[in-house]
Chains A and B, each alone.
Chain A
Amino acid sequence: MGLRDHQAIPIEDFNGWFKRGDADSVPLDHFSDLNNIAFVESGFETRPGMDTFFPKGDVVRLYTYTTQNTQGLLILDTQGSIYHALLDGSKTLYGPILTIAGMTDFGFQAFFGRAYITPFGTFTNDLGINYQKGLENEFVYVYKGDGTNARKAAGFPPTNATTTANQNYKSFNSTFDGVVDKGVHLVTVTFTSGLGDTLAIQVFPVIYAPGGKQIENIQIPLGPLGTTGRKIWMTHAINPSDYTSDQSSYTYYLAATIADNTTNYLRINIADSALTTPLSLGTLPTVTGLLAENTDTTGFADLGLHLIAVVYETDTGFLTALGPETFAQVNVVDLQKAIHVSNIPVSPDSFVTKRHLVATKAILNYNGDQTGYQFFFIPEGTLDNNIDTELDVSFYDADLLEDASHLIDSFSEIPAGASLNSYHNRMVLAATFDDISIAYLSSPGEPEAIDQVDGVIIFPLDGLPITNTQEYRDVLYLFKKTKTGASVDNQDVPSTWQFNIIDQGVGAAPHGVGLVLDSGGVNIDFLLVADLSGILMFNGSYSRPELTWKIQDFWVALDRNSFIEFQVLNDSLNQRIYMNIPDLNMILYADYRWGLDPKNIKWSKYTFDVPPTSIALVETDVLVIGSVGNAS
């Protein structure tokens, strides 16, 4: 018997919060409002209590970061500093491993136990709408997980130790017909001044003239103060079989005179018969530029002109662009001799651990454009240190298999973006300060090697930045605030991949793609995506209605500018969803044990005395909450 003849209505299940429409539209088995309620079978209870976890304050952002051995947290605090907390019971807190003024948030992606970090910030447009992109003049950083400071990812290519002036001179066969006698010629340059003629270069170019052609001279050295002119000298034709590597053993004759100290290009056309004025060689100058020369050492190489350059390898395996500014040139005239490479640059960066020599195959008609040729790693051409400066190498062109040309366009410093993720073992970076609609992808397995030309995907420009990227079922999805696009690896460079818009009404917040457990990934046969319209399931297309259908009034009342603060976590083990809402001191909580669909999911609110600025799952399914202190 009910009260005053009212009939009791048995409610067997409590299905959580319902905030949609008027209060009298709330189903009988739902609550019009609730707080700190967790669900148990057919009932509810007070949410779990919160306990202290790690003594690090002023937390803005947390990520679960697992190294080879230990799980930990990467923590950004209000001072723009990132720390690394070890969760091995030691309460070790490394850092700050990185501090950047103005860093209010950061993106994170782990590769091979290392953490890649991109600092970003929130900007406001003229309409008062916030958006996120990488910080200006900032870069992606790499942290090795060992407590040492993070450093900029990638690295600068080798460079000449001193000025490159006078280290660029190259002399090679012209395609123009002429009278230069067939055979090997060595060419050198002298400066003319009151001191007479002094040698300008240390290693003389060697030319194997085919006969009936001219000789091109580019980047002819400029002399020091007091230089009134330059002269080019060359040997008579040498029978290749008589060639030795001792350049001082030959007689050089005046081939051309330049009556100024400004001209840097000259094509000479002279026959041996006109080479009559000999040069007294004098002392060879010492230069610091990369040098390559023929030797008398037994070895092997294909005949012809080769360019040789250097690539640094960092302690994270990154291969820099080619350097130094001027590559070395060697014209092999004896295929049974090795090539001697000297003045190999030493990096000032302690994280450079190896240096590799790279070379072109023999160039038939060199045009002076040193980067216009394909480079390959020279077998046995690696210095496993950052100390030695010389190496003899031997290689046939057929041995040059591993391409290094793609490194020429690599970023030396990767600009910071607002999103960092992975796809097909490539690092995906999006929304840099200058290019908010571009996603950069690294080479596979080389997260720091991003080709500035070929490594890009462009999300059609609409004035809004890319907010997130995510690999799902072999497809790379890219999100903007209210758009979703996709691109698929075609086994070629990313710039050739086709891009398609998937949905022009649904996008994702920067932290709005739900991470699963403590894996750092999202794949569990579906994605959870927090969009301005709600949290939606995504399995290649968005499932409607949204999972937050029951609490739509609450969701749409959220401040759109605050979506940057929300992180979505999917505790698939216990079938729960968490999303922090710092401004409300709240974590939005869902229990989907009774079904992951808009009808059966149960929503609740967890509120706290402190604002949950960031959340993460550790130890598989333990929810950790970062917070800042009280206003003061």
Chain B
Amino acid sequence: MSIQFLNPNAFLTRITNLVQGSAPSYSWCVWFRPDQDVTIDYQTIIALEGATEWQGVYSNSIANDYSLSVNNGGGSNDTPTKTLVAGKWYPISYHKSGTSHQYYVSIGLVGGVTVDMSAVTFTGLFLGSDGAGSNHGTFKGFREWTAVLSTTEFQAEFNSQTPVRTSGLVTNTPLVNNLLDTTSNHNDWTTTGVVNVDYQFISDDPIPAGAVVTDATDLGTLPYSAVISAQPTDVEFVFNQWFKYTAVVGETYIGGWFFGALTLYRAQYSIFSDAGVTDYPPNNPINGSQTINRRFQMPVVAGHTYYFKVFPVVFSTALDSGVDLTVDFETGPNKTVPNGSPFINDDLQDFFAGVVSSIDADDYNVLKFIDFVPTTAENGGDISQQNGKILIIDDITAKILLFSPQLTELLDTGIVGATNGVIRRLADGSAFYTSHALTVNRVSKDGVVGGTTWTLTGTRVTALAPSNDELILYTSVTNATNAPVKRWDLVNSVYLSDLVAGITGYFVSDIMVLDDDTILVLYFKSSTTPNSKVLHYATDGSLLDTYDLGNPVATPPSSGSITFDFTDPANYFLARVHNLVFDGSSTLIRVKISDGTTTRVKHVVFENGIYQAAETATPLTKFGISHSCPFFPIRALVQNGGIYKLVPGKRNDTLWLDITEQTTEDVKIPDPFIETAAIGN
């Protein structure tokens, strides 16, 4: 809705509560559409006027060239002109800061003048004309403030049917069906004393559907994929586009994408858990320039409605010919998770851990997302292959927690967890070793903390792995290049001789002891010639083999990590590295120890829920995993539980893998064992 003046001499005025020239800060904005070409000089569209003083926008020639004019009685000062095309809507705005006056059309600065108006007393505010011109035009939403609004704030105002900024708001006259001011200031427009008040309210509205949050486009049910017109063609302005989605039962994670174009209309967006007020996710909101044209993924709660505000990072008149916005939403994957699928935690609160395919070359295939604790430390978690239980650092509580094979929390070990802590299991999975700074503990596979706490010397533990007889702890405590692999005597709590000296330029990123007592060490070099490699040592430090993992990016988000293979940990190990040209992906590598042959699976990294690969119209994938978190292969996940029976004589457990598909998976009976007490006497 808007107000259209039918008579060239028609106008509205107000003579009370005027913001005088003495006000140091002043802004106004209004939608304006010239309905015909200007044919007479000096056509005012909005002005504050005194006896001889004048402050407003007008056309000073027989053309549609409008400029801001400011006159304190000493002569007018005009900005450059802006040509307004008849029939097209324009958002026009103005602000004054001290003596500086700025004039904007479509949020773009047309020009400014410097005039001291502090002594000026205005006697009237005019809209549509000042009674001395001939101007056919249509207006909508005049608002004024005793404040200096920024272009960002004007942008928000033109995207909203109601004022966004309320502080300093003096007047808000929507002009959709009356002349009234919605604030308590009663700054209503009046027709008193006006010779001709020939106007009408019409349905034309410059603000299109979806531009305001209350009119957000409902995405309905997922998947949703559409290309929509993000811009009406008769408005020289780029609007916000609002969307909303209500998660359905069974849905815990969704992914989405807003893509405009790679040059004009690069689509940036913000996500809210309500109608545009509260950023979402709460701890690590998805917004900012990193979102531009990139996919996102995020957790959802069934029944809750989420809002998405999309806006361009480019303002261009070229956009008034209309632009397309690609919108693509999908429910997060919830596929079967067979034995050995790599589990990658997320380092940021709010975001879920991902389980990915381990099949060679099955790139970018995320199987499932799981609500899990966040862990930053790249080797801050591990799994016992004996019972499938997972010991991991929870960054939120700074605790080390034990989880079941089905990823439900079992217990808090009571050990403090650090964001750079390390957890490494014994090769046989009977226990874990953990570190916090230089403090090391042993935790049984069932979460029982051992009686001894070792305090090492050095900077901090960056990697550790116990020998299979638990007499020696291989570790790196330097947190710098050239760090040696040290040996700590777990019985006598002293350092033994180094296993191997440091390698120039390389960090020690991770250590594993295989069940044959040999040691794998992941080295990482961050430089102009970056490199990741795993060196295989015998217990005497002699080099058995070298596995070059390739050249990662020089300053990657993480230095990679290694872990035990699921099916054949004696002959294989797993590694994760980032790629040389950081294209936002990482690679999981399965290395055969005997000959170094590898199989590889690539995954796109989503950090803070946002696709990290290059901005593109053809993203590699819709979902991904975090980049700097512990990873390890897990047991099969049971999709929906099920009903089982005990069968005498059966020597393994069979789980429903996907009850809908009635697929099953055999797993080992968890860890049958007995333990006798230590008798002291």
Residues of chain A touching chain B, judged by Cβ–Cβ distance below 8 Å, are 14, 18, 23-26, 28, 30-37, 44, 46-59, 62, 73, 75, 79, 85, 583-585, 606-611, 613, 618, 622-632
Whether A632 contacts B369 by the Cβ 8 Å rule is yes
Q: Which residues of B contact A630 (CB under 8 A)?
A: 370, 406-408, 637-639
A545 CB, nearest partner CB in chain B, Å: 21
- Among A50, A54, A583, A622, chain B packs the most CB atoms within 10 A around the CB of A50
B30 at the interface (CB under 8 A from A): no
Looking at B375-383, B480-488, B522-530, B661-669, the stretch in contact with chain A turns out to be B661-669
Please, which residues of chain A bring their CB within 8 A of the CB of B669? 36, 46-47, 49-50
Contact call B642/A52, Cβ cutoff below 8 A: yes
Chain B residues whose CB sits within 8 angstroms of the CB of A623 once the complex forms = 645-646
- Sample 24 A-B pairs with CB under 8 A, ordered by A number: A14-B674, A31-B677, A36-B669, A36-B672, A36-B673, A46-B651, A47-B672, A51-B644, A51-B646, A51-B654, A52-B654, A56-B642, A59-B643, A584-B410, A585-B408, A609-B388, A609-B635, A609-B653, A613-B641, A624-B644, A624-B645, A625-B643, A628-B641, A629-B638
Answer yes or no: B193 CB below 8 A from chain A CBs.
Answer: no
Bound Cα distance A36, B670 (Å): 7
In the complex, chain A residues whose CB is within 8 Å of the CB of B647:
48-51
A608 to B641, CA, bound (A): 12
Whether B644 pairs with A52 at a CB distance below 8 angstroms is yes
Interface flag for B330 (CB, 8 Å): no
Q: Is B655 an interface residue (CB 8 A)?
A: yes
Does the CB pair B646–A52 fall under 8 Å?
no
Q: In the bound complex, what is the Cα–Cα distance between A35 and B659 (angstroms)?
A: 27
Chain A residue numbers with a CB within 8 Å of B404 are: 585, 609, 611
The verdict on B640 contacting chain A, using a C-beta distance below 8 Å, is yes
- Kindly state whether residue B368 has any CB partner on chain A within 8 Å: yes
Pick from B370, B659, B677, B678: contact of A56, CB under 8 Å? B659
B263 contacts across to A, CB distance below 8 A: none
- Give Cα distance in the complex from A233 to B430, angstroms: 99
In the complex, what residues of B have CB within 8 A of residue A35's CB?
A: 387, 670-673
- Residue of B640, B672, B674, B679 near A57 (CB, 8 A) is B640
Q: Residue of A at shortest CB range from B252?
A: A632
Q: Which residues of A contact B681 (CB under 8 A)?
A: 24
What are the residues of chain B within 8 A of A50 when measuring CB–CB? 644-647, 650, 653-655, 669
How close is A543's CB to chain B, nearest CB, in angstroms? 28
B670: which of A33, A52, A75, A609 is its contact (CB, 8 Å)?
A609
**In the complex with contacts A32-B675, A36-B669, A48-B650, A629-B639 CB distance below 8 A:** yes
Once A48-B650, A627-B641, A627-B644 are accepted as A-B contacts, the answer to whether A611 and B676 lie under 8 Å apart by CB is no
Chain B: minimal CB distance from A36 (Å): 4
**A52 adjacent to B655 (CB under 8 Å):** yes
Q: How far is the CA of A47 from the CA of B678 in the complex (A)?
A: 25
Is B656 an interface residue, CB under 8 A from the partner? yes
Pairwise interchain contact A75-B645, C-beta atoms closer than 8 A: no
**Complex: A28 Cα to B674 Cα, angstroms:** 13
Q: Is the CB of A607 within 8 A of B638?
A: no
B646 cross-chain contacts in A, Cβ below 8 A? 47-51, 606, 622-623, 625
The 10 closest A-B pairs by CB, nearest first: A57-B640, A49-B650, A26-B677, A630-B406, A32-B677, A627-B641, A33-B675, A36-B672, A54-B643, A53-B645
**Cβ of B649 under 8 Å from chain A:** yes
Interface flag for B363 (CB, 8 Å): no
Using Cβ atoms and an 8 Å threshold, which residues of chain A touch B676?
26, 31-32
Cα separation A622 to B252 with both chains bound (whole Å): 36
Residues in B neighbouring A606, C-beta threshold 8 A: 646
Q: Does B652 make an interface contact (CB < 8 A)?
A: yes
B648 within 8 A of A: yes
Q: Is B405 an interface residue (CB 8 A)?
A: yes
Complex formed: what's the CA distance from A35 to B651 in Å? 15
A36 touches B671 (CB 8 A): yes
The number of chain B residues touching the other chain, given as a range, is: 35 or more
Contact of B640 among A37, A613, A625, A629 (CB under 8 A): A629
Query: Interface of B with A (CB < 8 Å)?
Result: 249, 252, 334, 368-372, 387-388, 404-408, 410, 635-656, 659, 662, 664, 667, 669-681
> In the complex the two chains form, what is the Cα distance from A58 to B640 in whole Å?
5
CB distance from A310 to the nearest CB of B (A): 44
Contacts A32-B677, A51-B650, A58-B640 given; does A608 touch B372 at CB 8 Å? no
**Least distance between B387 CB and chain A CB atoms (Å):** 8
CA distance A51 to B664 in the complex (A): 9
- Please tell me if the beta carbons of A56 and B638 are within 8 angstroms of each other in the complex: no
Given A46-B651, A609-B670, the answer on whether A34 and B641 have CB atoms closer than 8 Å is no
| Complex partner residue of B677 from A14, A24, A629, CB under 8 angstroms | A24
Measured between alpha carbons, how far is A460 from B677 in the docked complex, in Å?
47
A10–B124 Cα distance when bound, in Å, is: 110
- Residues in chain B near residue A36, CB distance under 8 A: 669-673
* Residues of B with C-beta under 8 A to A57: 639-642, 656, 659
A residues within 8 A CB of B673?
Answer: 33-37
Question: How far, in angstroms, from A55 to B644 measured CA to CA in the complex?
Answer: 9
Task: Give chain B residues whose Cβ lies under 8 Å from the Cβ of A31.
Answer: 674-677
- Given the interface pairs A31-B676, A35-B670, A44-B674, the reply to whether A49 lies near B642 with Cβ below 8 Å is no
Q: Which chain A positions have C-beta within 8 A of B652?
A: 49
Contacts of B408 in A (CB 8 A): 585, 611, 630-631
Are A610 and B655 in touch, CB under 8 angstroms?
yes
The smallest C-beta distance from A88 to any residue of chain B, in angstroms, reads: 15
Q: B670 to A56, Cβ gap below 8 A?
A: no
**In the complex the two chains form, is A54's CB within 8 Å of B653's CB?**
no
Task: Report how far A16 CA is from B643 CA in the complex, Å.
Answer: 28
- Chain B residues contacting A26 (CB-CB under 8 Å) are 676-677
Nearest chain B CB to A57's CB is how many angstroms away?
3
Which residues of B have CB within 8 Å of A33? 673-675
Excluding A34-B674, A51-B644, 18 further A-B contacts by CB distance (< 8 Å) are A18-B677, A24-B677, A36-B672, A49-B646, A49-B651, A49-B652, A50-B650, A53-B644, A73-B643, A606-B646, A609-B388, A611-B408, A622-B645, A623-B645, A628-B641, A629-B641, A630-B637, A632-B370
B370→A631 contact, CB < 8 A? yes
> What separation, in Å, do the CA atoms of A73 and B653 have in the docked complex?
22
Q: Which residue on A lies nearest to B642, using beta carbons?
A: A57
State whether B675 touches A609 (Cβ < 8 A).
no
In the bound complex, residues from chain A placing their C-beta under 8 Å from that of B655 are 50, 52, 609-610
Residues of A within 8 A of B371 (CB): 631-632
Q: Which chain A residues border B410 with CB–CB below 8 Å?
A: 583-585
Selected from B334, B643, B672, the residue in CB contact (under 8 A) with A46 is B672
Residue of A at shortest CB range from B648? A48
Q: From A613, which residue of chain B is reached at the shortest CB distance?
A: B641
Assess A23 versus B674: contact at CB under 8 Å? Given A50-B654, A53-B645, A629-B641: no
> What are the residues of chain A within 8 A of B672 when measuring CB–CB?
35-37, 46-47
Can you name the residue of chain A whose Cβ is closest to the Cβ of B654?
A51
Known contacts A46-B669, A55-B642, A62-B643; A631/B675 CB under 8 A: no
Q: How far is the CA of A30 from the CA of B675 in the complex (A)?
A: 9
Q: Which of A18, A31, A85, A609 has the most CB of B within 10 A?
A: A609
- Is A49's CB under 8 angstroms from B675's CB? no
Q: Are B368 and A632 in contact (CB under 8 A)?
A: yes
* Contact (Cβ within 8 A) B675 A610: no
- Bound together, the chains give a CA A25 to CA B680 distance in angstroms of 9
Query: In the bound complex, what is the Cα–Cα distance between A55 and B553 (angstroms)?
Result: 48
Compute how far the CA of A544 lies from the CA of B539 in the bound complex, rounded to whole angstroms. Answer: 57
Task: Decide: B675 and A34 in contact? CB cutoff 8 A.
Answer: yes
Bound: A46/B673 CA distance, A: 8
Interface centre among B249, B406, B644, B674 (most CB of A within 10 A): B644
Most chain B CB inside 10 Å of its own CB: which residue of A28, A49, A59: A49
Shortest Cβ gap from A462 to chain B (Å)? 33
**Known contacts A24-B680, A631-B406; is A608 also within 8 Å of B670 by CB?**
yes
Within the assembled complex, what's the spacing in Å between the Cα atoms of A348 and B671? 60
In contact, A607 and B670 (Cβ under 8 angstroms): yes
With both beta carbons as reference points, the residue of chain A lying nearest to B667 in the complex is identified as A609
| A55 adjacent to B641 (CB under 8 Å) | no
Nearest CB in chain B to that of A36: its residue: B672
